[in-house]
Amino acid sequence: MKIAIVTGGSNGIGKATALELGKRGISVILTYNSYKDRAEAVVKEVEQNTGVRAVALKLNLTQISTFEGFALEVKQYLNDIWDRTTFDYLVNNGGIGGPMMFNEMTEEYFDNILNTNFKGPVFLTQHLVRFMDDHGAIVNTTSSSKNQSFPGYSAYGSLKAAFSTWTRYIAKELAPRNIRVNAVSPGPTHSNFGDGVFDKHPEFIKPLAEQSVFGRIGQPEDLAKVIVNVLSDDFGWVTAQDIEVSGGHLL
């Protein structure tokens, strides 16, 4: 029985990933930051639809001093529920977005993106990988914006680029343990991103859909299938890659 940890599993891509893992018989520890109720609903859905066990834990990626306690909590659940001391897969998915033009950018905005989308996942991985099974796998959720230049996304895109580069470095350092580290870069995806921007402003969808060769934006399930496949042994000879999953956005 394999076990995966998915950060940001209460919404969007992380939620779809938790469900996809469950469908493939993989147990899930998912995390939430603000929405405990949504995370618990995901746990229920995973368990009812797939039969695997799932657990939701609180994790704020900006609070690095809590990671040691989080790791202990995970270890306790691994022992109590699965009689294990290790886990198999980590999906560093939790993150935030939202634009701010460079001229107006505040240090607070920059630090929030930095801590949530890059620094937090880096140090969380450091804590968790210590008890990841050798032959495990990590997928980091980066973004197609790392190769683009949409106004307002300079911090977000640059820090996703940093996360993508970090993926390559860590893939090398963890290779002696046969742990693979890859990234998946979503294009525009209809999740709860930006506090539900696509639900609040459906008019934002059409112009982005027109930038894709398939004429639509992504759905969380489009990403989840790729993330779970990249974790699987079918990708056993793939490491240090960042795969864009955008339906040919801006091709």
Ligand X SMILES: NC(=O)c1ccc[n+]([C@@H]2O[C@H](COP(=O)([O-])OP(=O)(O)OC[C@H]3O[C@@H](n4cnc5c(N)ncnc54)[C@H](OP(=O)(O)O)[C@@H]3O)[C@@H](O)[C@H]2O)c1
Q: Please list the active-site residues.
A: 156
Q: Which is nearer to ligand X, 61 or 74 (CB)?
A: 61
State both tokens at 245. 């999953």
Interface segment toward ligand X; rule CB under 6 A; list 7-15, 41-49, 126-134, 236-244: 7-15
Q: Find the binder of ligand X among 25, 34, 51, 210 (CB under 6 A).
A: 34
Q: Find the binder of ligand X among 141, 164, 167, 212 (CB under 6 A).
A: 141
Q: Which is nearer to ligand X, 66 or 84 (CB)?
A: 66
Q: How far apart, in whole angstroms, are the C-alpha atoms of residue 113 and residue 48?
A: 35
Give the amino acid at 73.
E
Phi, psi at 168, each rounded to 5°: -65, -45
Q: Find the binder of ligand X among 2, 4, 8, 29 (CB under 6 A).
A: 8
Kindly give, in sequence order, each residue whose CB lies less than 8 Å from that of residue 169, ignoring residues fewer than 6 positions away: none
Kindly give, in sequence order, each residue whose CB lies less than 8 Å from that of residue 83, ignoring residues fewer than 6 positions away: none
Q: How far apart, in whole angstroms, are the C-alpha atoms of residue 4 and residue 214?
A: 31
Q: Find the binder of ligand X among 67, 89, 153, 193 (CB under 6 A).
A: 193
Interface segment toward ligand X; rule CB under 6 A; list 5-13, 49-57, 81-89, 146-154: 5-13
Q: How far apart, in whole angstroms, are the C-alpha atoms of residue 117 and residue 142?
A: 9
Kindly give, in sequence order, each residue whose CB lies less than 8 Å from that of residue 239, ignoring residues fewer than 6 positions away: 171, 175, 180, 181, 182
Interface segment toward ligand X; rule CB under 6 A; list 2-10, 126-134, 172-180, 228-236: 2-10
Q: How many CB atoms lie within 10 A of CB 134?
A: 10
**Minimum distance, C-beta of residue 59 to ligand X, in the bound complex (Å):** 5
Q: How far apart, in whole angstroms, are the C-alpha atoms of residue 232 and residue 234?
A: 5
| Residue 182 found at the interface with ligand X (CB under 6 A) | no
**Minimum distance, C-beta of residue 143 to ligand X, in the bound complex (Å):** 4
Q: Find the binder of ligand X among 41, 96, 162, 209 (CB under 6 A).
A: 96
Q: Which residues contribute to the site for ligand X (CB under 6 A)?
A: 7-8, 10-14, 32-35, 59-62, 93-97, 116-117, 141, 143, 186, 188-189, 191-193
